[in-house]
Amino acid sequence: MIRTDAVFDTLRMLQEEKLDVRTATLGIDLHDCASRDAGTLAERIRTKIARVAGGFVTATRKLEREYGIPIVNRRIAVSPIAQVAAGHDTKALVAVARALDAAAADVGVDLVGGYGAHVQKASTRAAEALIEALPEALSTTSRVCGYVQVASSRTGINMDAVNRMAQAILDIAHADAANDGFAAAKLVVFANLPDDNPFMAGATHGTGEADATINIGVSGPGVVQRALERLVQQADAAASASGSAQHGATLSDIAEEIKLTSFRITRVGELMGRELAAALGVRFGIIDLSLAPTPAVGDSIGEILQAMGILRVGAPGSTAAVAMLNDAVKKGGAFASSSVGGLSGAFIPVMEDATLAAAAEAGWLTVDKLEAMTSVCSVGLDMLPVAGDLSPTTLAGLMADEMAIGMINGKTTATRIVPVPGKKAGEHVSYGGLFGASMIMHVRESDPNDRFAAFGGRIPAPLNALKN
Protein backbone atom coordinates (compact mmCIF):
# COMPACT_ATOMS: atom_id res chain seq x y z
CA MET A 1 0.00 0.00 0.00
CA ILE A 2 1.05 3.58 -0.51
CA ARG A 3 2.85 5.11 2.45
CA THR A 4 0.50 6.46 5.08
CA ASP A 5 2.23 9.83 5.24
CA ALA A 6 1.93 10.20 1.46
CA VAL A 7 -1.76 9.38 1.68
CA PHE A 8 -2.35 12.04 4.31
CA ASP A 9 -0.24 14.55 2.38
CA THR A 10 -2.59 14.11 -0.55
CA LEU A 11 -5.64 14.39 1.69
CA ARG A 12 -4.29 17.58 3.21
CA MET A 13 -3.89 19.08 -0.24
CA LEU A 14 -7.50 18.30 -1.02
CA GLN A 15 -9.18 19.06 2.28
CA GLU A 16 -7.24 21.95 3.75
CA GLU A 17 -5.38 23.56 0.89
CA LYS A 18 -8.10 23.80 -1.75
CA LEU A 19 -6.51 21.58 -4.39
CA ASP A 20 -9.01 21.10 -7.13
CA VAL A 21 -9.36 20.64 -10.83
CA ARG A 22 -10.03 24.22 -11.79
CA THR A 23 -11.52 23.35 -15.12
CA ALA A 24 -12.38 20.36 -17.22
CA THR A 25 -12.70 21.74 -20.70
CA LEU A 26 -14.16 19.70 -23.53
CA GLY A 27 -12.77 20.86 -26.84
CA ILE A 28 -15.10 20.34 -29.79
CA ASP A 29 -14.29 20.83 -33.44
CA LEU A 30 -17.10 22.70 -35.17
CA HIS A 31 -15.73 22.99 -38.68
CA ASP A 32 -18.19 20.37 -39.91
CA CYS A 33 -21.03 22.66 -38.84
CA ALA A 34 -20.24 25.18 -41.58
CA SER A 35 -23.14 26.22 -43.77
CA ARG A 36 -23.94 29.08 -46.11
CA ASP A 37 -27.21 29.50 -44.28
CA ALA A 38 -26.82 31.30 -40.97
CA GLY A 39 -29.77 29.55 -39.36
CA THR A 40 -28.47 26.13 -40.35
CA LEU A 41 -25.03 27.00 -39.05
CA ALA A 42 -26.41 28.00 -35.67
CA GLU A 43 -28.62 24.92 -35.46
CA ARG A 44 -25.78 22.57 -36.40
CA ILE A 45 -23.57 24.11 -33.73
CA ARG A 46 -26.20 23.65 -31.05
CA THR A 47 -26.93 20.09 -32.15
CA LYS A 48 -23.29 19.06 -32.29
CA ILE A 49 -22.48 20.45 -28.87
CA ALA A 50 -25.50 18.67 -27.42
CA ARG A 51 -24.38 15.40 -29.02
CA VAL A 52 -20.71 15.55 -28.03
CA ALA A 53 -21.11 17.16 -24.61
CA GLY A 54 -24.41 15.60 -23.56
CA GLY A 55 -22.80 13.32 -20.98
CA PHE A 56 -19.98 15.65 -20.04
CA VAL A 57 -21.31 17.09 -16.80
CA THR A 58 -22.58 13.73 -15.56
CA ALA A 59 -19.18 12.16 -16.21
CA THR A 60 -17.40 14.89 -14.27
CA ARG A 61 -19.79 14.48 -11.34
CA LYS A 62 -19.09 10.75 -11.25
CA LEU A 63 -15.35 11.34 -11.23
CA GLU A 64 -15.64 13.91 -8.47
CA ARG A 65 -17.40 11.31 -6.42
CA GLU A 66 -15.00 8.48 -7.13
CA TYR A 67 -11.84 10.47 -6.47
CA GLY A 68 -13.08 13.02 -3.99
CA ILE A 69 -11.62 15.85 -6.04
CA PRO A 70 -13.74 18.90 -6.82
CA ILE A 71 -14.01 19.91 -10.46
CA VAL A 72 -14.79 23.58 -10.07
CA ASN A 73 -15.72 24.46 -13.64
CA ARG A 74 -17.01 22.51 -16.61
CA ARG A 75 -16.43 24.28 -19.86
CA ILE A 76 -16.49 23.86 -23.58
CA ALA A 77 -14.00 25.24 -26.05
CA VAL A 78 -14.85 25.25 -29.73
CA SER A 79 -13.04 25.87 -32.99
CA PRO A 80 -12.31 29.53 -33.71
CA ILE A 81 -15.71 30.81 -34.72
CA ALA A 82 -14.33 33.19 -37.34
CA GLN A 83 -13.20 30.06 -39.21
CA VAL A 84 -16.38 28.06 -38.66
CA ALA A 85 -18.52 31.02 -39.73
CA ALA A 86 -16.39 32.10 -42.68
CA GLY A 87 -18.46 33.96 -45.22
CA HIS A 88 -21.04 35.24 -42.75
CA ASP A 89 -21.77 38.78 -41.65
CA THR A 90 -21.96 40.43 -38.25
CA LYS A 91 -25.62 39.58 -37.76
CA ALA A 92 -24.93 35.89 -38.35
CA LEU A 93 -21.95 36.03 -35.98
CA VAL A 94 -24.22 37.37 -33.24
CA ALA A 95 -26.64 34.52 -33.94
CA VAL A 96 -23.80 32.05 -33.59
CA ALA A 97 -22.94 33.54 -30.20
CA ARG A 98 -26.53 33.01 -29.08
CA ALA A 99 -26.46 29.44 -30.36
CA LEU A 100 -23.30 28.78 -28.38
CA ASP A 101 -24.87 30.32 -25.30
CA ALA A 102 -27.95 28.14 -25.63
CA ALA A 103 -25.88 25.04 -26.30
CA ALA A 104 -23.80 25.64 -23.19
CA ALA A 105 -26.97 25.99 -21.15
CA ASP A 106 -28.38 22.81 -22.72
CA VAL A 107 -25.47 20.69 -21.54
CA GLY A 108 -25.00 22.46 -18.19
CA VAL A 109 -21.59 24.06 -18.60
CA ASP A 110 -20.90 27.50 -17.23
CA LEU A 111 -18.82 28.96 -20.05
CA VAL A 112 -18.07 28.27 -23.70
CA GLY A 113 -14.94 29.65 -25.30
CA GLY A 114 -13.68 29.90 -28.84
CA TYR A 115 -15.72 32.82 -30.05
CA GLY A 116 -12.59 34.18 -31.59
CA ALA A 117 -10.45 35.15 -34.50
CA HIS A 118 -6.79 35.01 -35.44
CA VAL A 119 -5.75 38.29 -36.97
CA GLN A 120 -2.09 38.44 -36.00
CA LYS A 121 -1.10 39.24 -39.56
CA ALA A 122 -4.31 40.42 -41.20
CA SER A 123 -8.06 39.95 -40.98
CA THR A 124 -10.49 37.94 -43.05
CA ARG A 125 -13.96 39.33 -43.61
CA ALA A 126 -15.30 36.82 -41.11
CA ALA A 127 -12.77 37.95 -38.52
CA GLU A 128 -13.82 41.54 -39.10
CA ALA A 129 -17.44 40.52 -38.72
CA LEU A 130 -16.68 38.68 -35.49
CA ILE A 131 -14.86 41.65 -34.00
CA GLU A 132 -17.77 43.85 -35.07
CA ALA A 133 -20.15 41.42 -33.38
CA LEU A 134 -18.27 41.26 -30.08
CA PRO A 135 -20.09 44.07 -28.21
CA GLU A 136 -23.53 42.60 -28.86
CA ALA A 137 -22.40 38.98 -28.68
CA LEU A 138 -20.70 39.30 -25.30
CA SER A 139 -23.13 41.73 -23.69
CA THR A 140 -26.27 39.78 -24.60
CA THR A 141 -25.05 36.28 -23.71
CA SER A 142 -24.02 34.96 -20.33
CA ARG A 143 -21.79 32.00 -21.16
CA VAL A 144 -19.90 32.98 -24.30
CA CYS A 145 -16.24 33.97 -24.03
CA GLY A 146 -14.22 35.49 -26.84
CA TYR A 147 -10.65 36.04 -27.85
CA VAL A 148 -8.73 37.69 -30.63
CA GLN A 149 -5.10 36.90 -31.40
CA VAL A 150 -3.43 40.08 -32.62
CA ALA A 151 0.24 39.12 -32.44
CA SER A 152 2.68 36.25 -32.62
CA SER A 153 6.41 35.74 -32.58
CA ARG A 154 6.20 34.57 -36.18
CA THR A 155 4.17 37.43 -37.58
CA GLY A 156 4.76 40.41 -35.36
CA ILE A 157 1.96 42.62 -34.08
CA ASN A 158 -1.01 43.62 -36.21
CA MET A 159 -1.39 47.16 -34.92
CA ASP A 160 -4.51 47.74 -37.00
CA ALA A 161 -6.06 44.89 -35.06
CA VAL A 162 -4.75 46.26 -31.78
CA ASN A 163 -6.40 49.62 -32.49
CA ARG A 164 -9.54 47.84 -33.57
CA MET A 165 -9.63 45.78 -30.38
CA ALA A 166 -9.03 48.82 -28.17
CA GLN A 167 -12.18 50.37 -29.51
CA ALA A 168 -14.03 47.04 -29.40
CA ILE A 169 -13.21 46.55 -25.71
CA LEU A 170 -14.53 50.01 -24.88
CA ASP A 171 -17.65 49.29 -26.93
CA ILE A 172 -18.18 45.95 -25.19
CA ALA A 173 -17.84 47.51 -21.76
CA HIS A 174 -20.23 50.33 -22.57
CA ALA A 175 -22.73 47.91 -24.11
CA ASP A 176 -22.76 46.23 -20.71
CA ALA A 177 -22.60 49.40 -18.63
CA ALA A 178 -25.47 48.19 -16.43
CA ASN A 179 -23.12 45.46 -15.19
CA ASP A 180 -20.08 47.72 -14.80
CA GLY A 181 -18.74 46.55 -18.14
CA PHE A 182 -18.53 42.92 -17.09
CA ALA A 183 -18.86 41.66 -20.66
CA ALA A 184 -15.33 42.90 -21.31
CA ALA A 185 -14.10 40.40 -18.72
CA LYS A 186 -15.14 37.67 -21.14
CA LEU A 187 -12.70 38.76 -23.83
CA VAL A 188 -8.96 38.15 -24.07
CA VAL A 189 -6.53 39.65 -26.58
CA PHE A 190 -3.58 37.37 -27.22
CA ALA A 191 -0.10 37.01 -28.56
CA ASN A 192 0.97 33.41 -29.22
CA LEU A 193 -2.25 31.76 -28.11
CA PRO A 194 -1.79 28.00 -27.69
CA ASP A 195 -4.30 25.80 -29.52
CA ASP A 196 -5.26 23.88 -26.42
CA ASN A 197 -5.81 26.47 -23.72
CA PRO A 198 -8.48 25.18 -21.31
CA PHE A 199 -8.75 28.35 -19.21
CA MET A 200 -11.38 30.98 -19.81
CA ALA A 201 -11.87 33.46 -21.14
CA GLY A 202 -9.32 32.47 -23.78
CA ALA A 203 -10.10 28.78 -24.20
CA THR A 204 -10.24 27.47 -27.73
CA HIS A 205 -10.06 24.24 -29.71
CA GLY A 206 -7.49 25.13 -32.29
CA THR A 207 -6.50 23.71 -35.60
CA GLY A 208 -4.57 20.46 -35.36
CA GLU A 209 -6.78 19.20 -32.57
CA ALA A 210 -8.97 16.08 -32.63
CA ASP A 211 -12.74 16.08 -33.13
CA ALA A 212 -13.15 16.21 -29.38
CA THR A 213 -10.58 16.48 -26.62
CA ILE A 214 -10.53 16.77 -22.87
CA ASN A 215 -8.11 19.37 -21.56
CA ILE A 216 -7.63 19.91 -17.87
CA GLY A 217 -6.68 23.03 -16.00
CA VAL A 218 -5.35 22.40 -12.52
CA SER A 219 -4.58 25.05 -10.00
CA GLY A 220 -3.69 24.95 -6.33
CA PRO A 221 -2.12 28.21 -5.17
CA GLY A 222 -3.14 27.27 -1.64
CA VAL A 223 -1.22 24.02 -1.80
CA VAL A 224 1.95 25.78 -2.90
CA GLN A 225 1.54 28.52 -0.33
CA ARG A 226 1.05 26.13 2.57
CA ALA A 227 3.93 23.92 1.43
CA LEU A 228 6.24 26.93 1.38
CA GLU A 229 5.04 28.13 4.77
CA ARG A 230 5.68 24.69 6.26
CA LEU A 231 9.11 24.52 4.63
CA VAL A 232 10.19 27.92 5.93
CA GLN A 233 8.81 27.32 9.42
CA GLN A 234 10.44 23.93 9.75
CA ALA A 235 13.74 25.14 8.35
CA ASP A 236 13.74 28.20 10.61
CA ALA A 237 12.96 26.03 13.61
CA ALA A 238 15.78 23.66 12.72
CA ALA A 239 18.18 26.57 12.26
CA SER A 240 17.08 28.05 15.56
CA ALA A 241 17.52 24.75 17.36
CA SER A 242 21.03 24.44 16.00
CA GLY A 243 21.87 27.98 17.05
CA SER A 244 22.45 29.19 13.51
CA ALA A 245 21.99 32.89 12.87
CA GLN A 246 21.01 32.15 9.28
CA HIS A 247 17.55 31.34 7.96
CA GLY A 248 17.10 27.64 7.49
CA ALA A 249 15.66 27.66 3.98
CA THR A 250 17.28 29.06 0.86
CA LEU A 251 15.62 30.07 -2.39
CA SER A 252 16.90 26.81 -3.87
CA ASP A 253 14.98 24.93 -1.20
CA ILE A 254 11.88 26.98 -1.97
CA ALA A 255 12.18 26.27 -5.69
CA GLU A 256 12.50 22.56 -4.98
CA GLU A 257 9.39 22.63 -2.80
CA ILE A 258 7.40 24.38 -5.51
CA LYS A 259 8.54 21.77 -8.04
CA LEU A 260 7.55 18.89 -5.78
CA THR A 261 4.16 20.42 -5.07
CA SER A 262 3.57 21.17 -8.74
CA PHE A 263 4.39 17.58 -9.57
CA ARG A 264 1.64 16.32 -7.31
CA ILE A 265 -0.88 18.87 -8.48
CA THR A 266 -0.18 17.99 -12.09
CA ARG A 267 -0.62 14.31 -11.41
CA VAL A 268 -4.07 14.93 -10.01
CA GLY A 269 -4.98 16.75 -13.19
CA GLU A 270 -3.56 14.10 -15.48
CA LEU A 271 -5.38 11.35 -13.62
CA MET A 272 -8.69 13.16 -13.83
CA GLY A 273 -8.14 14.10 -17.46
CA ARG A 274 -7.37 10.57 -18.54
CA GLU A 275 -10.29 9.15 -16.64
CA LEU A 276 -12.69 11.74 -17.97
CA ALA A 277 -11.53 11.28 -21.55
CA ALA A 278 -11.92 7.52 -21.23
CA ALA A 279 -15.40 7.92 -19.78
CA LEU A 280 -16.45 10.14 -22.68
CA GLY A 281 -14.65 8.13 -25.35
CA VAL A 282 -12.63 11.12 -26.54
CA ARG A 283 -8.96 11.97 -26.62
CA PHE A 284 -7.11 13.23 -23.60
CA GLY A 285 -5.34 16.43 -24.57
CA ILE A 286 -3.26 18.37 -22.12
CA ILE A 287 -2.82 19.41 -18.53
CA ASP A 288 -2.55 23.13 -18.06
CA LEU A 289 -0.77 23.58 -14.77
CA SER A 290 -1.52 27.17 -14.00
CA LEU A 291 -1.60 28.62 -10.54
CA ALA A 292 -4.92 30.36 -11.01
CA PRO A 293 -6.12 32.24 -7.97
CA THR A 294 -9.63 32.93 -6.80
CA PRO A 295 -10.75 35.73 -4.51
CA ALA A 296 -10.91 33.28 -1.59
CA VAL A 297 -8.35 33.54 1.19
CA GLY A 298 -5.81 30.74 0.85
CA ASP A 299 -6.14 30.56 -2.93
CA SER A 300 -3.90 33.40 -3.96
CA ILE A 301 -0.75 33.98 -5.98
CA GLY A 302 -0.15 37.05 -3.85
CA GLU A 303 -0.09 34.87 -0.75
CA ILE A 304 2.48 32.58 -2.39
CA LEU A 305 4.68 35.60 -3.04
CA GLN A 306 4.25 36.58 0.59
CA ALA A 307 5.26 33.06 1.63
CA MET A 308 8.33 33.56 -0.56
CA GLY A 309 9.20 36.65 1.46
CA ILE A 310 7.66 39.42 -0.66
CA LEU A 311 5.40 40.93 1.96
CA ARG A 312 4.29 43.86 -0.19
CA VAL A 313 3.39 42.35 -3.53
CA GLY A 314 4.60 44.65 -6.25
CA ALA A 315 7.56 45.93 -4.28
CA PRO A 316 11.07 45.41 -5.67
CA GLY A 317 11.86 41.72 -5.79
CA SER A 318 8.36 40.79 -6.95
CA THR A 319 9.37 40.17 -10.55
CA ALA A 320 12.22 37.90 -9.53
CA ALA A 321 9.92 36.00 -7.18
CA VAL A 322 7.29 35.51 -9.88
CA ALA A 323 9.98 34.38 -12.32
CA MET A 324 11.22 31.76 -9.92
CA LEU A 325 7.70 30.63 -9.07
CA ASN A 326 6.69 30.34 -12.70
CA ASP A 327 9.80 28.41 -13.66
CA ALA A 328 9.56 25.99 -10.76
CA VAL A 329 5.89 25.35 -11.51
CA LYS A 330 6.74 24.47 -15.10
CA LYS A 331 9.60 22.20 -14.09
CA GLY A 332 7.49 20.27 -11.60
CA GLY A 333 4.66 19.95 -14.08
CA ALA A 334 6.90 18.89 -16.94
CA PHE A 335 8.39 16.10 -14.84
CA ALA A 336 4.97 14.88 -13.79
CA SER A 337 3.45 14.63 -17.22
CA SER A 338 4.32 14.53 -20.89
CA SER A 339 0.99 16.18 -21.63
CA VAL A 340 1.63 19.61 -20.15
CA GLY A 341 0.34 22.34 -22.44
CA GLY A 342 -1.95 25.31 -22.53
CA LEU A 343 -0.68 28.31 -20.64
CA SER A 344 1.00 26.56 -17.68
CA GLY A 345 2.41 29.12 -15.32
CA ALA A 346 1.26 31.53 -12.65
CA PHE A 347 -1.62 33.89 -13.37
CA ILE A 348 -1.71 37.33 -11.81
CA PRO A 349 -5.29 38.48 -12.39
CA VAL A 350 -5.76 41.51 -10.18
CA MET A 351 -9.49 41.24 -9.53
CA GLU A 352 -9.49 37.48 -9.03
CA ASP A 353 -6.79 37.51 -6.35
CA ALA A 354 -7.67 39.26 -3.11
CA THR A 355 -4.04 39.76 -2.12
CA LEU A 356 -3.12 41.28 -5.47
CA ALA A 357 -6.18 43.49 -5.29
CA ALA A 358 -5.17 44.62 -1.81
CA ALA A 359 -1.65 45.34 -3.03
CA ALA A 360 -3.07 47.43 -5.85
CA GLU A 361 -5.26 49.29 -3.37
CA ALA A 362 -2.24 49.99 -1.19
CA GLY A 363 -0.32 51.35 -4.17
CA TRP A 364 2.36 48.68 -4.20
CA LEU A 365 1.11 46.92 -7.30
CA THR A 366 0.91 49.27 -10.25
CA VAL A 367 0.12 48.64 -13.90
CA ASP A 368 3.78 49.20 -14.74
CA LYS A 369 4.88 46.59 -12.20
CA LEU A 370 2.24 44.17 -13.36
CA GLU A 371 3.52 44.55 -16.89
CA ALA A 372 7.05 43.81 -15.73
CA MET A 373 5.87 40.74 -13.86
CA THR A 374 4.03 39.44 -16.91
CA SER A 375 7.29 39.31 -18.81
CA VAL A 376 8.30 36.35 -16.65
CA CYS A 377 5.03 34.61 -15.91
CA SER A 378 1.77 33.78 -17.57
CA VAL A 379 -0.23 35.34 -18.93
CA GLY A 380 -0.53 39.08 -18.97
CA LEU A 381 -2.56 42.03 -17.78
CA ASP A 382 -5.41 39.89 -16.56
CA MET A 383 -8.69 41.08 -15.06
CA LEU A 384 -7.37 44.59 -14.92
CA PRO A 385 -10.15 47.10 -14.21
CA VAL A 386 -9.54 50.55 -15.66
CA ALA A 387 -11.51 53.77 -15.87
CA GLY A 388 -14.42 53.66 -18.28
CA ASP A 389 -13.23 56.78 -20.06
CA LEU A 390 -9.74 55.50 -20.77
CA SER A 391 -8.81 56.65 -24.26
CA PRO A 392 -8.57 54.13 -27.10
CA THR A 393 -5.04 55.36 -27.70
CA THR A 394 -3.98 54.48 -24.17
CA LEU A 395 -5.74 51.15 -24.29
CA ALA A 396 -4.08 50.30 -27.60
CA GLY A 397 -0.71 51.26 -26.15
CA LEU A 398 -1.25 49.01 -23.12
CA MET A 399 -2.13 46.10 -25.36
CA ALA A 400 0.74 46.75 -27.74
CA ASP A 401 3.21 46.74 -24.85
CA GLU A 402 1.89 43.42 -23.58
CA MET A 403 1.87 41.87 -27.05
CA ALA A 404 5.46 43.00 -27.56
CA ILE A 405 6.52 41.13 -24.45
CA GLY A 406 4.99 37.97 -25.85
CA MET A 407 6.28 38.50 -29.37
CA ILE A 408 9.90 39.12 -28.39
CA ASN A 409 10.08 36.47 -25.67
CA GLY A 410 8.30 33.77 -27.65
CA LYS A 411 5.68 33.30 -24.97
CA THR A 412 1.96 33.69 -24.61
CA THR A 413 0.88 37.06 -23.35
CA ALA A 414 -2.59 38.47 -23.14
CA THR A 415 -4.70 41.31 -21.91
CA ARG A 416 -8.08 41.08 -20.26
CA ILE A 417 -8.69 44.73 -19.55
CA VAL A 418 -12.08 45.78 -18.24
CA PRO A 419 -13.07 49.45 -18.67
CA VAL A 420 -15.68 50.23 -16.05
CA PRO A 421 -18.19 52.71 -17.48
CA GLY A 422 -18.83 55.75 -15.30
CA LYS A 423 -16.06 54.99 -12.87
CA LYS A 424 -12.63 56.55 -12.35
CA ALA A 425 -9.33 55.18 -11.16
CA GLY A 426 -9.37 54.70 -7.40
CA GLU A 427 -13.04 53.77 -7.30
CA HIS A 428 -14.06 50.17 -6.84
CA VAL A 429 -15.77 47.49 -8.88
CA SER A 430 -17.01 44.04 -7.90
CA TYR A 431 -18.27 41.28 -10.18
CA GLY A 432 -18.67 38.69 -7.44
CA GLY A 433 -17.84 35.03 -7.48
CA LEU A 434 -14.62 33.97 -9.15
CA PHE A 435 -14.32 37.30 -10.97
CA GLY A 436 -13.70 39.12 -7.69
CA ALA A 437 -13.34 42.78 -6.86
CA SER A 438 -10.71 45.45 -6.96
CA MET A 439 -9.91 49.10 -7.01
CA ILE A 440 -9.90 50.50 -10.52
CA MET A 441 -6.27 50.80 -11.52
CA HIS A 442 -4.50 54.03 -12.28
CA VAL A 443 -3.22 54.13 -15.85
CA ARG A 444 -1.14 57.01 -17.14
CA GLU A 445 -2.99 58.31 -20.18
CA SER A 446 -1.08 58.60 -23.43
CA ASP A 447 -0.79 62.03 -24.99
CA PRO A 448 -3.91 62.44 -27.18
CA ASN A 449 -1.60 63.23 -30.07
CA ASP A 450 0.45 60.07 -29.69
CA ARG A 451 0.80 58.55 -33.13
CA PHE A 452 2.68 55.33 -32.42
CA ALA A 453 -0.31 52.99 -32.31
CA ALA A 454 -2.26 55.17 -34.72
CA PHE A 455 0.33 54.63 -37.43
CA GLY A 456 -1.23 51.21 -37.75
CA GLY A 457 0.19 48.57 -40.00
CA ARG A 458 2.26 45.80 -38.54
CA ILE A 459 5.15 45.74 -36.14
CA PRO A 460 7.34 43.33 -38.07
CA ALA A 461 8.14 39.89 -36.78
CA PRO A 462 11.26 39.93 -34.61
CA LEU A 463 14.56 38.56 -35.77
CA ASN A 464 14.09 35.49 -33.61
CA ALA A 465 11.15 34.50 -35.85
CA LEU A 466 13.59 33.65 -38.62
CA LYS A 467 14.36 30.17 -37.40
CA ASN A 468 13.93 28.07 -40.50
Partner 1 sequence: MTVEPTHLISVLTPDHPGIVHALVKTLDAQGAIAGEVSQTVVAGAFTIALVVAIPDGVDPAELAQELATAAGAGASATLLPMSAAPRACGGVASVAGAARAERYLLTAIAADDDENALSTITRAVSDRNGNFVDFASQRSEHGLRLVAELELANGDGLTDLQDALSEIAASVPGRTVRLQHERLFAATSEVAFRRLGR
Q: Which residues bind partner 1 (CB under 8 A)?
A: 1-4, 6-11, 13, 15, 65-69, 264, 267-268, 270-271, 274-275, 278, 336-337
The residue (of 21 and 365) whose beta carbon lies closer to partner 1 is 21
Rounded least distance, CB 220 to partner 1, Å: 11
CA distance 145 to 134: 10
Nearer to partner 1, 287 or 395 (CB): 287
C-alpha 206/C-alpha 193 separation (Å) is: 9
From the CB of 337, what's the least distance to partner 1, in Å? 7
In the complex with partner 1, the residue whose CB is nearer, 217 or 419, is 217
Element (H, E) at 146: strand 144-152
Closer residue to partner 1 in complex, CB, 215/318: 215
Nearer to partner 1 by Cβ, of 9 and 427: the residue is 9
CB of 276 to partner 1, least distance (A): 11
Report in angstroms how near the CB of residue 184 gets to partner 1 at its nearest.
38
Min separation Cβ 17 and partner 1, Å: 13
Q: How far is residue 50's CA from residue 59's CA, in Å, rounded to a whole number?
A: 14
Which of 467, 407, 423 is closest to 158 using CA atoms? 407
- Report yes or no: 266 and 224 within 8 Å, Cβ to Cβ: no
152-177 burial, b if ≥16 CB within 10 A, otherwise e? bbbbbbbbbbbbbbbebbbbbbbbbb
Whole-number Å distance between alpha carbons of 33 and 40: 8
344: region left, alpha or beta (phi > 0 left; psi from -120 to 50 alpha)? left
Among residues 197, 149, 189, the alpha carbon closest in space to that of 342 is found at 197
In the complex with partner 1, the residue whose CB is nearer, 15 or 233, is 15
Minimal distance, residue 344 CB to partner 1, in Å: 18
Cβ distance to partner 1 smaller for residue 6 or 251: 6
Give the DSSP per-residue string, 45-89: HHHHHHHHHTTHHHHHHHHHHHHT--EEEEEEEES-HHHHTTT--
CB of 203 vs partner 1, minimal distance in Å: 24
